């Protein structure tokens, strides 16, 4: 065998090894999840049949609903599912006790309860939202059958609770004992990936090596990292004691990351404008930043562990030591050669660069401590991830669910439809389940397709295969391939709804148990009724203020602008953290809606940078103003300027924009007079220089062409559905 043949085989072997490694990193865990989901569902079925429970399918469906790739998510989801199930059971007890003899009042009460729970699901986030969803549709699952037989309510409720608890137990045990995938690993991956991705974003945005669309994609991913880390952290405290100990450090890390992102965006926009205008300050700042960019590139190339992060923190600390002398040199070289406005722009850019370096240093040190599992550094109690909630959106989501259940219930009563109870039940379940989805109508469409596939498969298996089987184990072996196929589809984001719907409805129609009923007419009628109930909910999502519709997007934009109002008037304690987390949460929801609409909706994102920059600058302005004693004239100008800025962001218009700019100009003039060498001490002058930088940043943002167009095109009232 010649050398060329040996080299060829070696190359093919290495290529195959690389492909196998890539497959193991992605598909391996998908197949582990498929195996665990199928095993947990079959185990729940066998135990339920052994205990002779009425509906083993309820335990199996519970497995499909709570099963997640990470163990911590299963535990958290199970906890809130139990709480929601208990609440729904209590609500169904009240409804049956009051209205069992009056179907109209019962449907009205059930619709009101589901609407209330759906509003709660839309108002809260993560697993609190899921608990409200469960409270809503559990009342439908238990209350509707019990309303037909009120004397058997307690038996029905106890059986359903047992079946749900069995499904949760099987999912939790299988997830935690067979190749568990801890949420702590997901936290580590999130922290590391966003650390390196942020450095690449910083380098690419200022060096020009990344295109506009690439930068936009990276920016949206960074916003998503912030929200996802908070969601994972909240769930992981139930799984890992180490995560509970370090929960405060994770909150600090998230807060520092949001702060450094906002500061960098402000610095980048100002530097790009100075370079575009061919300003001498732009050239000096570019040279200064490039020296720091070399340190950032080293960070990106060696950000794999704690030691590399510690070395990076030392390099940033060394750069901070030489930064004041280099800033002084720039000021000296450009002294007297700049106009007043250019000098203020230079001061603003230097202040932002200094702040960016300081915040990057703090973020890197926190990252290093987290990576090395070092001692936990106490985090202030006000460092929290505050989620802004919109009661209008929550109430409208609840109204949508209320009318969907009411409409299907009215059709059931008017037509005396024998299977109408299934249609009402599933209309309520789907209305609650998809109320918080970014594009619920699309999700429902996929669910209906999955239901149809599961329904047809169940007909074949139930009436052609199962009658020839002998024993539970053979039945489990027969249905295992179908469940595995559905579970595999759930690992594909675009097909997850089809896979979940297929598994749920296959199990629902098959209805495995010791006393199985083989009545094809009833099965077909039940399947059609269920699909019609789901379709009715989908129609309501499409036509009643769809979550991706114009009014919904305007409402999100209005909520984003309200963050500036919060920055203007809320108390100082924890304000910066509340502002940053609230703005990033809203931006994440806007990005999800934009993605659901296939990338349309650039107008809503026009407010992204203005809100972040102005809100942060106002907070800094208020803090600096409180740090020194201001003259009565400057204090009055600051108060008036902040009020006019808040009024503009509360309800934008060309007139209010002009008033805000006039207020900022008045603040700039008053601050410039007070910053004269003969008017204040050196410390006060230093703080006033920061105040001037914040004011100039607000002014330059308000004068941006993008904000002018956004103000003109903004809805005049945007706060109520009527205005839309």
**CATH number of the domain to which 627 belongs:** 1.20.120
Q: What is the mean pLDDT of residues 43-61?
A: 90
Q: Could you tell me the residue range of the domain that residue 282 belongs to?
A: 183-238+247-372
Whether 588 is in a domain gets the answer no
Residue 403, classified by CB atoms within 10 Å of its CB into exposed (0-12), middle (13-18) or buried (19+), is: middle
Does 224 share its domain with 296? yes
Whether 383 is in a domain gets the answer no
Does 151 share its domain with 188? no
The whole-number pLDDT of residue 297 equals 65
Q: What is the mean pLDDT of residues 206-214?
A: 66
Does 319 share its domain with 417? no
In this structure, are residues 323 and 315 in contact, taking their beta carbons and an 8 Å threshold?
no
Supply the DSSP symbol for 716: S
Does 417 share its domain with 484? yes
> Between 336 and 558, whose confidence is greater?
558
Work out the pLDDT band at 304, boundaries 50, 70, 90.
low
Does 166 share its domain with 46? yes
| Among 543, 578, 611, residue at a domain's last position | 543
The whole-number pLDDT of residue 381 equals 57
| Among 339, 372, 405, residue at a domain's last position | 372
Render pLDDT for 612-663 as a digit per residue (tens, 0 to 9).
889 989 998 898 888 777 778 888 888 899 999 999 998 888 888 889 999 9
In this structure, are residues 72 and 182 in contact, taking their beta carbons and an 8 Å threshold?
yes
Whether 257 is in a domain gets the answer yes
Whether 20 is in a domain gets the answer no
Does 197 share its domain with 308? yes
**Range with lowest mean pLDDT among 113-122, 169-178, 634-643, 674-683:** 674-683
- HEC letters along 442-460: HHHHHHHHHHHHHHHHHHH
In this structure, are residues 451 and 502 in contact, taking their beta carbons and an 8 Å threshold?
yes
Does 138 share its domain with 204? no
Work out the pLDDT band at 479, boundaries 50, 70, 90.
very high
| Among 313, 345, 372, residue at a domain's last position | 372
In this structure, are residues 260 and 225 in contact, taking their beta carbons and an 8 Å threshold?
no
In this structure, are residues 302 and 312 in contact, taking their beta carbons and an 8 Å threshold?
yes
Number of other residues whose CB lies within 10 A of the CB of residue 275:
15
Check pLDDT > 60 for residue 174: yes
Does 140 share its domain with 224? no
Q: What share of the chain is helix, strand, coil (3-state, %, to 5)?
A: 80, 0, 20
- HEC letters along 486-533: HHHHHCCHHHHHHHHHHHHHHHHHHCCCCCCCCCHHHHHHHHHHHHHH
Number of domains the chain contains: 3
* Global pTM exceeds 0.75: yes
Check pLDDT > 90 for residue 482: yes
* Tokens of residue 519, six digits: 């009545």
Render pLDDT for 77-108 as a digit per residue (tens, 0 to 9).
677 778 888 888 889 888 888 887 888 888 89
Whether 585 is in a domain gets the answer no
Q: In angstroms, how far is the first alpha carbon of the chain from the final one?
A: 77
Does 152 share its domain with 287? no
CA distance 44 to 168: 9
Cα distances from 451 to residues 58, 59, 403, 411, 486, in angstroms, run 16, 18, 23, 22, 11
Cα distances from 439 to residues 442, 444, 541, 542, 560, in angstroms, run 6, 9, 9, 9, 20
Whether 140 is in a domain gets the answer yes
> What mean pLDDT value characterizes the chain?
80
Supply the DSSP symbol for 384: -
**Domain CATH number, residue 315:** 1.20.58
Does 58 share its domain with 166? yes
Residue 32, classified by CB atoms within 10 Å of its CB into exposed (0-12), middle (13-18) or buried (19+), is: middle
CA distance 350 to 331: 10
CA nearest neighbour of 264 among 284, 293, 287, 305 = 293
Q: Tokens 């595999």, residue?
A: 488
Whether 535 is in a domain gets the answer yes
CA distance 30 to 488: 7
The whole-number pLDDT of residue 642 equals 92
* Tokens of residue 720, six digits: 């109520």
The whole-number pLDDT of residue 486 equals 92
Whether 377 is in a domain gets the answer no
Does 432 share its domain with 519? yes
Work out the pLDDT band at 41, boundaries 50, 70, 90.
very high
Work out the pLDDT band at 595, boundaries 50, 70, 90.
low
In this structure, are residues 645 and 639 in contact, taking their beta carbons and an 8 Å threshold?
no
Tell me what percent of the residues of the chain surpass a pLDDT of 70: 82
Q: How many residues does the chain have?
A: 724
Does 715 share its domain with 628? yes
Sign of the Cα torsion 369, 258, 622, 692 reads positive
């Amino acid at each position: 065998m010649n050398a060329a043949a040996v080299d060829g085989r070696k190359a093919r072997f290495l290529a195959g090894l690389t492909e196998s490694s890539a497959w193991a990193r992605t598909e391996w865990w998908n197949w582990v999840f498929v195996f665990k989901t199928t095993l947990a569902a079959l185990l729940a079925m066998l135990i339920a049949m052994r205990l002779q429970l009425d509906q083993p399918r309820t335990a199996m469906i519970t497995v499909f609903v709570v099963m997640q790739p990470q163990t911590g998510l299963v535990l958290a989801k199970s906890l809130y599912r139990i709480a929601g199930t208990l609440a729904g059971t209590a609500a169904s007890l009240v409804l049956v006790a009051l209205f069992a003899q009056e179907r109209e009042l019962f449907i009205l009460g059930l619709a009101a309860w589901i609407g209330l729970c759906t509003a709660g699901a839309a108002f809260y986030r993560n697993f609190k939202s899921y608990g409200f969803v469960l409270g809503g549709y559990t009342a439908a699952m238990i209350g509707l059958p019990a309303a037909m037989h009120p004397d058997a309510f307690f038996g029905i409720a106890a059986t359903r609770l047992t079946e749900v608890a069995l499904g949760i137990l099987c999912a939790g045990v299988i997830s935690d004992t067979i190749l568990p995938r801890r949420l702590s690993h997901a936290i580590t991956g999130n922290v590391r990936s966003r650390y390196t991705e942020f450095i690449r974003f910083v380098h690419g945005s200022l060096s020009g090596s990344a295109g506009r669309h690439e930068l936009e994609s990276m920016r949206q991913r960074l916003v998503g990292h912030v929200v996802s880390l908070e969601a994972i952290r909240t769930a992981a405290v139930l799984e890992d004691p180490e995560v509970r100990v370090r929960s405060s450090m994770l909150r600090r890390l998230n807060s520092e990351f949001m702060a450094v992102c906002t500061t960098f965006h402000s610095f980048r926009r100002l530097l790009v404008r100075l370079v575009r205008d061919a300003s001498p300050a732009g050239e000096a700042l570019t040279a200064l930043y490039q020296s720091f960019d070399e340190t950032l590139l080293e960070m990106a190339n060696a950000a794999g562990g704690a030691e590399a992060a510690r070395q990076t923190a030392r390099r940033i600390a060394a750069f901070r030591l030489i930064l004041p002398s280099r800033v002084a040199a720039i000021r000296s070289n450009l002294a007297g050669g700049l106009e007043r406005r250019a000098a203020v722009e230079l001061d603003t850019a230097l202040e932002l660069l200094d702040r960016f370096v300081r915040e990057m240093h703090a973020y890197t040190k926190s990252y290093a401590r987290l990576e090395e599992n070092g001692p936990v550094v106490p985090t202030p109690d006000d460092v929290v991830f505050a989620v802004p909630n919109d009661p209008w959106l929550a109430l409208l989501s609840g109204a949508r669910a209320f009318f969907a259940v009411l409409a299907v219930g009215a059709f059931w009563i008017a037509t005396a439809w024998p299977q109408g109870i299934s249609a009402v039940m599933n209309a309520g379940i789907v209305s609650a389940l998809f109320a918080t989805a970014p594009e619920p109508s699309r999700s429902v469409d996929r669910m209906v397709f999955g239901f149809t596939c599961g329904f047809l498969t169940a007909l074949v298996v139930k009436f052609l295969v199962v009658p020839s089987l002998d024993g539970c184990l053979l039945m489990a072996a027969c249905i295992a391939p179908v469940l595995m196929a559905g579970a595999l589809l759930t690992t594909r984001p675009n097909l997850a709804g089809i896979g979940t719907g297929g598994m749920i409805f296959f199990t629902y129609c098959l209805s495995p148990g010791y006393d199985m009923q083989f009545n094809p007419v009833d099965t077909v009628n039940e399947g059609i009724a269920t699909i019609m109930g789901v379709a009715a909910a989908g129609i309501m999502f499409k036509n009643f203020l769809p979550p991706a519709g114009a009014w919904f997007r305007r409402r999100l934009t209005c909520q984003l602008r309200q963050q500036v109002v919060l920055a203007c008037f809320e108390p100082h304690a924890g304000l910066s953290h509340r502002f940053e987390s609230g703005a990033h949460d809203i931006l994440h929801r806007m990005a999800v809606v934009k993605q659901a609409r296939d990338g349309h909706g650039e107008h809503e994102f026009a407010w992204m940078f203005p809100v972040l920059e102005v809100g942060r600058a106002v907070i800094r302005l208020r803090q600096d103003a409180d740090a020194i004693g201001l003259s009565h004239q400057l204090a009055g100008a600051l108060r008036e300027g902040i009020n006019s800025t808040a009024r503009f962001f509360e309800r934008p218009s060309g007139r209010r924009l002009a008033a805000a700019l006039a207020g900022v100009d008045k603040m700039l003039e008053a601050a410039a007079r007070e910053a004269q060498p003969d008017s204040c001490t050196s410390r006060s002058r230093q703080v006033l220089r920061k105040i001037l930088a914040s004011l100039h940043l607000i002014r330059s943002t308000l004068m941006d062409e993008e904000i002018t167009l956004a103000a003109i095109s903004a809805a005049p009232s945007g706060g109520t559905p009527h205005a839309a």
